[in-house]
Amino acid sequence: MLEIAAVNSFYGKAHVLSDLSFTVARGQVAALLGRNGAGKSTTMKSIMQLVVPRSGAIRFMGHDLVGLPPHRVAKLGLGYVPEDRRIFTDLTVLENLEVGRQPPRDGTVTWTHEMLFELFPNLAERRHNRGKEMSGGEQQMLTIARTLMGNPSFVLLDEPSEGIAPVIVEQMARVILQLKSEGLTVLLSEQNLHFARAVADVAVIIEGGAQKFHGTLAELNAHPEIRDAYLSV
């Protein structure tokens, strides 16, 4: 469904992704693993064209994304949840959802407020609160809910478990499995292997912007030396 082929991306002068390649198949939950600075967020941004790769190809359901404006990428059915959340703090929960709203799309779930509030009960209580009045965990839920309003068929989650309380991390995991059961494809970036084990089918490990491992989590578990080389201390 998503194919990343020999992508090179720069952040200013820093060469962040070097010949990065991997694929994600329809219906999978794929975890992009690596230490901080490995290039996980840049991978997400490169897919969304918020960082335009200098070379390489990114194909999504037959479309080449490189060079498209981000809104066109979103219109193709890619939903992006940024690492730093970037909710609209002056807008209420409902208004934040409105920004994300897009027309229904064939072949994927059409989300309504009710469905989202069922998924994230905390948001239902706070629907008229402004973004800046919410806790970090609630903001994290809102940013996912906002992206789902665009009825994506593929969701990019950048560090969904970062900086939030353990209970909310559990809730996040439940949400991701729910999305999978609705038929969505998910690519999430993580530092936390434990979290990835709980939700993902396959793992892609990157280090220094290059792919070091691509396989199922069972395979990864069978090779602790890979884990030790790229993830642990």
177 binds other proteins (CB under 8 A): yes
**How many amino acids of this chain bind other proteins (CB under 8 A)?**
59
Rounded Cα distance between 2 and 142, Å, is 25
Q: Minimum distance from CB of 136 to other proteins (Å)?
A: 8
How far are the Cα atoms of 55, 57, 106, 208 from residue 68, in angstroms, in the given order? 14, 12, 22, 26
Asked whether position 138 contacts other proteins by CB under 8 A, the answer is: no
Among 193, 202, 205, 220, binds other proteins (CB under 8 A): 193
- Tell me if 60 contacts other proteins by CB under 8 A: no
146 contributes a contact to other proteins by CB under 8 A = yes
Site string for other proteins, 73-112 (x = CB under 8 A): xxx----x-x---x-xxxx---xx-xxxxx----------
Residue 121 lies near other proteins (rule: CB under 8 A)? no
Our finding on whether 232 is near other proteins (CB under 8 A) is yes
Segment 5 to 24, residues that bind other proteins, using CB under 8 A? 11-16, 18
- End-to-end Cα spacing for the chain: 33
Between 127 and 227, name the residue whose CB sits nearer to other proteins.
Answer: 227
Q: Whose Cβ is closer to other proteins: residue 20's or residue 73's?
A: 73
Which residues lie near other proteins (CB under 8 A)?
A: 11-16, 18, 35-38, 48, 50, 69-71, 73-75, 80, 82, 86, 88-91, 95-96, 98-102, 146-147, 150, 159, 162-163, 166, 169-170, 173-174, 177, 181, 191-196, 198-199, 208, 227, 231-233
